[in-house]
Every structure is written in C-alpha cells, then in structure tokens.
Chain A
Amino acid sequence: MSATQIAGRMAGVDAGAPIRQSSLWQDAWRRYLRNRGAVAAGAVFLLLVVWCLVAPLVSPHDPNEVDFASAYQGPSWSHPFGTDQFGRDLFTRAALGGRISIGIGFGATLAILGIGVVYGAISGFVGGKLDNALMRFLDALYGLPYLPFAILALAIVGTVDFWTMVVALSIASWFITARVVRGQIIILKENDYVRAAKAVGVRWYAILGRHLLPNTLGVLVITIFLELPGVILGEAFLSFLGLGINPPDASWGSMAQDGRDSYRAHPHIIIIPSLAIATLVLCANFIADGLRDALDPRTKET
C-alpha cells in the first residue's frame, strides 16, 4: 500500500491528545508568585486585614473608654501603639479604624466598579449613537474634581456615616473605570468567538454576560487595586478636613485628624494611622502591578 493511501486513510480519525495541560488562572497565579514584591505586598495586605478584624476582639481595652489618667502615653507593653489625648488605646482603635477605612475603601471601590462597568459595558456593547452620546457626557463629567464633589455631597447630606462616605467617594470617581471597561468591551466584541455566538443565535444579554464580561475580569481585578489607594486617601483627606466619620467611630483619617493638634509633643497619635494608610496604599499598588504582569496577555501562552 502506498504512503499516500495509508496516510489518507488515517486522516481525520485521530486528532491527537491536547498539547498542554494547565488552566489560564493557574498560569497567572504562578506568574504572580514569581514577583516577590507583589507576593510580599499581598502578604502584608492580608496581615493588615486580619489584624483589623481580630485585634479588637482580643484586646483587653475598650476602644472608646476615656481615661484621662493614661492620656498621651507612648508605645508600651500594655499599649503597643500608645494612647491618644483621651487615654484610649491606639492599638485597638487603629484596628477598628482600619475596619472602617478598609471597609469604606472596598465599598467605594466596588461602587465605582459597579457604576463604571454598567456604564462602560452598555456604551461599548451597543455602540453607535448611544456610545457617542454616553462618551460625550462622560467627557463633560471628567472635568468634575472628585474631592470637592465629595465634600459637596457630604455637606448636602449632613451626617457622615459609612454609607454616605462610600457614596460621596464613588460619585465622581467611576469615569476612568467606565472608559476602561468600554475600551475592553469594544476590543473583545471584535473577536470571532463573539461573532460565532451571534451566528448561533445566542441572545445579546447572554453574549454580554457569558463572553464579554468574564473576559474583562482580569482588567477589573487590577482596577480594584488601582482605585483602592485613591479612595482610601480620599477618605483620609476628608477626615483630616474634619468631614470624617462621626465620633466615637473612627477611621484612620479621623484618627490622624485627632492627632493634628498635639503632633509636636506626641507625634505617635498622628503617625500611627498615617503609617497604616501608607502601608495599605503601597501594598495595593504593588499588588496591582503584580496582577497586571501576571495577567498580561502578551506573556500568555497560546
């Protein structure tokens, strides 16, 4: 039997085994782990969150208990971070403050993401005149500086609690996210697999939800860690201006504001929360960089 006859008969029967076995997420995870800075930052971030959650539960001190006798104490064994002007243990307060700061941070970030994704996805997916109109409107909004806007929002509402802070910080910060998501959707829309889904008769919402949005996941995760620092700093800034969470609840920002008057004599009161904010922001940036490198499609194996 000739070569061509044999070869011809066997064609199409066996296409062979898969050529590689791994998942995209595993590849990304492995790449992330190679970035030592990102891994360290991730660990510190996690530690910080755990501390905020656990420390107040195990602390012997009541964070709101006023005890003027112990006021302005420096770091010691019973008060690892010292005490503030009211004698309140800063270690416990900082942990509680962390809960609020981080909570507001994530809350506002998720709100930003939520609004941005919806706006951007609709604009990018529908395209045409609607996209045009939505983007022109966005261009106009771009001019709004978010901090003054946040201040305005808080002033209008009156009280400052967790949720009003979240709203104030996210109201004018979702523009970039919307743009980014829209850009992603527009690029992804051109992929053949989206056309294939349309050709098969998949409905538009299924295309959006099953094909487009999951493929923007990578970008969204990175966006979370990019927006987080901005929001946390924003909250800190507002608190520092005196627009922070109402006492006795405290965030790191409002704690820093507490320490403003006495920072020359007792710097630890302002330093502790400031350091906490700085650490969180630094870690978030490193994590965002690490994620970006890990998920970079150019280094993905195809």
Chain B
Amino acid sequence: MALLEISDLKTHFFTREGVVHAVDGVSLAVEAGSTLGLVGESGCGKSVTALSIMRLLPTPPARIVSGSIRFGGRELTELSERELEDVRGREIGMVFQDPMTALNPTLTIGTQIVEVLQRHLRLDRRAARRRAGELLAEVGIPHAFERLDDYPHRFSGGMRQRVGIAMAIACEPRLLIADEPTTALDVTVQAQVLDLLDDLRRKREMAMLLITHNMGVVAESADDVAVMYAGQIVEQAPTPELFDRPEHPYTEALLSALPDLDDPLARRSRLAAIPGRPPDLVDPPAACRFASRCPYAELGDCCALEPPPLRELRPGHWVRSAHPASERHLAHA
C-alpha cells in the first residue's frame, strides 16, 4: 500500500463570484521512499492539492468537498485539528516556495527549529539545540552552530530555503511535500537545493511530493510524474516513460513548447505554443477540459460530450484523454 493515497479529491473555493473547482477529482499515490513530481502550470490546482493534504487552506472559502487522503493507513480528512497538528511536521513536512516569507523574521533560526523539535519530539532545550545545529550542517550551511543565533535576513535566498528544508525534516517525517521549492531561486542555487533534497530523501528514506511548473525539475528529481491540468490529473507515469512516450496531448504540447537548451536550431525556429488558455474553474467544461486547445479533438468526438476517465493505458501509465498518442493511428477508421 502506498504511503500517501489520494482518491478523487475535490477541493472547492466558495467565493462571491462563484464556486472555484480548484481540485476536481484528483487521485494519486506516493510510495514510501520515492518521489512523485506533480507538475502543471499556474492555476491547475497543484498547490491546492498539497495544501489540502495538510489542511492548510483557509476554510472559508476553501473546503474539501469530497474524496479521501490516506496517509500511512489513516484517513487525514477525518482527523480533528489537534490530531492533524501532530501529523504536521512530525510525519509530513512541508517546504514552501518563498524562503523569504516562510520564516519568521523576528526570531532567530535556532529558535524556530528548536520550536519544531520541542513541539514534536519533546526534547529538552540543550538536546534540541544540538539537534538543530546538526540539521543545519546536514543541509549544507557552513558554520552551522554559530548560525543558529542569526536572524533570517542574514541568510541568502538559497540558504533560507535550506533552513526551511532543515525545519521540514527536523522530526524525520516520512513524507516531505515541497511546493515549488526552487522557483524563487537562481538556477545554480536551484540545482544545489534539488540535489540536497535528493540526497536527504535517499539518506532518510523519505517519500517526497515535489510540486513544480518546471518539467526539467521533475525530469531530474522525480521517480514518477503526474501532470495536472484544470484541477485534474491528466497523465501519470514513471519519469522516463512520461518523457519518452508522452500520451496526453497536453503533455506533448507542454514538452514541445519548452525551449531546448541544446537545440542548435532554436534561434531559427518557432516554439510550438499552445493556443488559447486554461478553462475557467468556476464553470469548467462538462466534458474534456483540454478539448478547446487540443489539436486532435473534433466536433462530435466522445471527449466533447463526456469527460474522459483516467485509464491505465499501459502498466503504470495513466491517461485522461480520448486521443492518447498510442491510439491516434487507430482513430482514423
């Protein structure tokens, strides 16, 4: 059984302008010790999914309308707030995108890490402080023990993110959720932080849910990839499989739209842009949500009338489309 299993999760935002179906039927699984990359563009619902797991969304206007989130056999949606507080930090750690705002500027780094350790592991101050120093060293901060007494503003962006990671893994959680952990960082620092996450994960046998909009990041760090679009998972497969044989038209288009670093003809050619825009999530299309931008959808197609289900095309490779790549040559009958 997977460590984290999400089944048909629906998280909606009830606003004055209407109900935003931010997450509309998401199912995914993260196996213990492996990394699942959740990738998608802005507004697709990936961050909302992560925050739903930890119930960190403001509850008006957000609400988990239906679905189940099972972690280590326990149903998270049924836990009380107090029980959930025990899970947060201790069993599931979270790293956020913005290293500037994730840390309290008025407390020293040491104080913040010690706070986490004391809350969950009930260590006395001296032991907690020692552990905090060890953690900082583990995430690659030089002069770790001296730095415990520094305030966040004395760290650079990359260092702050490392501190955020240290806090997230302090209590040895079994699952680490990283929500766009490198987006706000320079590309060289980004690479270092991803390498760090990878090393930590392997050393501690942690599972990781890595959320990002950057296909390159998941190519590097994830064992499996799930692609999200308009609140739903549209494709999921092991990483090499997804990049070698993408099935969903959106995945294909996304990969084609990326400028290739090593392409000598890049200057002369045009990028394969996807026309149009993602659908409005207040009133999503009743059928396939990608249909209006899909080069294969035709009027009268089944996908224009009914939402395509998420089906297992090949072992381990799931697609939500009526026109996956491997079936296209069959369609023209």
Contacts and interface: CB of A to CB of B under 8 A. Distances in A.
Interface residues of B, number: 16
A140 interface: no
Interface residues of A, number: 13
B42 interface: no
Contact of A6 (B270, B271, B295): B295
Interface of B: 249, 252-253, 256-257, 270-277, 280, 295-296
A40 B98 CA distance: 42
Contacts of B256: 3-4, 7
A8 B107 CA distance: 51
A10 interface: yes
Nearest to B256: A4
A12 B273 contact: yes
Given A7-B253, A7-B273, A7-B274, 8 more contacts: A7-B256, A7-B257, A8-B270, A8-B271, A8-B273, A10-B275, A13-B275, A16-B277
Nearest to A301: B17
Contacts of B280: 19
B295 A7 contact: yes
Contacts of B252: 3-4
Interface of A: 3-8, 10-14, 16, 19
Nearest to B257: A7
A11 B272 CA distance: 8
A55 to B, nearest CB: 40
A16 B270 CA distance: 20
Contacts of A10: 273, 275
Given A3-B256, A3-B295, A3-B296, A11 B275 contact: yes
B272 A8 contact: yes
A140 B3 CA distance: 66
B134 to A, nearest CB: 40
A6 B296 CA distance: 10
A224 B47 CA distance: 42
B263 to A, nearest CB: 13
A19 B279 CA distance: 10
Nearest to A22: B17
A7 B272 contact: yes
B295 A11 contact: no
A14 B253 contact: no
Contacts of A6: 295
B314 to A, nearest CB: 20
B249 A14 contact: no
A5 B273 CA distance: 9
A11 B296 contact: no
A7 B272 CA distance: 6
